[in-house]
Amino acid sequence: MGKNPIDFYKEVQESLKEASTQEEYKWILDFENTDLQVREIRKECFFLFLRTLGSPPLENSNEAILSFLESEREALEAELKDSGIHPSSLDQIEIHSLTKIKKDLHEKGNLSYYFHKFKREYNITHNRNDSA
């Protein structure tokens, strides 16, 4: 679900070494921090979706979950396309959106709004946790 942590760290180190000013150095740190936050929350959401789906995992469930999370980002981008919002602000909005998804899945499990949205969009009908 992403880069190897050692490779990621090496890439960040190289980028920081190439920074020619303190401002550029800070910008790189901020950018990488935001990117890491997005990836960590996405990963948490991914595993919450898997847990809520139950086991055994459904065929292609990993791809469907990743696609769903990516489509949420794309929906945000489309919604804010003409707003002139800076990409870093979009990342912060995505962090907020992913945090809502994570919280909803964690608190409500198979009753989560996002879980039902996922099931609808990907035609998921089997779930051992469904009560109805």
pLDDT digits (tens, 9 = 90+) for 111-125: 999 999 999 998 886
User: What is the sign of the dihedral through the CA atoms of 73, 75, 81 and 85?
Assistant: negative
- Tokens standing for 90? 């979009």
**Token output for 93:** 């909005």
Give the residue numbers spanning the domain of 50: 5-121
Would you say residue 44 lies in a domain?
Answer: yes
Report the distance separating Cα 47 and Cα 40, nearest Å: 11
Averaged pLDDT, 59-74: 92
Residue 126 lies in a domain: no
The domain total for the chain is: 1
- Specify the pTM: 0.82
Structure tokens at 14: 């190289």
Omega within 30 of 0 (cis) for the link into 57: no
Residue 89 lies in a domain: yes
- Amino acid symbol at 104: D
Average pLDDT of the residues in 88-105: 94
